[in-house]
Amino acid sequence: MIRRFQAVYGFFITLPNRLYPFALEIEGKRVRGRIAYEEALARIRAIKGPDNYGYTILMYRQLFHFLGAVFFILLATFLAHAFFHGEAALLVLMVAAILAITYQEFYLHPRYYRQHLPKSVSDWLTWVVPISIYTVSLL
């Protein structure tokens, strides 16, 4: 069960890497996707140092965080209304999501992915602000 969860979690964590839409030329060939992402990240880190994403990749990854937040809002709203028939369940799901994201960004990612605090804060805000705005609009 834990391995299966790790595989699904890993799939979502690396989704932006695999869907990287910008083409790069590597050894005379134009590439996209994971290979282009890894090359772009390597080039940025060669200039700015390890653990640095640069602004373009950071903004690209934040776009995925934002889209994930929007998708979660839609899914949670659907589930709350389809199975629990009430706004209270939706509020519980939103608060639980905020707590889970807080745990993920400030405990799991720094510990297992060596994520630095500024990146954790940026990721957390990108997830939590849309969810919070939606949650407050329900009240």
Q: What is the pLDDT along the chain (139 residues), one digit of tens a residue?
A: 778 888 888 888 888 989 898 888 888 889 989 999 999 999 998 998 887 888 888 899 999 999 999 999 999 989 888 888 778 888 988 999 999 999 999 999 999 888 889 889 999 999 999 999 999 988 7
14 closest CA partner among 38, 32, 50, 40:
38
Domains in the chain, number = 2
Tell whether 7 and 27 lie within a shared domain: yes
Q: Are residues 109 and 77 in the same domain?
A: yes
C-alpha to C-alpha distance for 97 and 80, rounded to whole angstroms: 13
For residue 25, give the 3-state DSSP assignment.
Answer: strand
**What is the amino acid identity at position 34?**
R
Question: Measured between alpha carbons, how far is 88 from 32 in angstroms, rounded to an integer?
Answer: 44
The whole domain housing 102 covers 56-139
**pTM for this model (two decimals):** 0.81
Residue pair 63/75 in contact by the 8 Å Cβ criterion: no
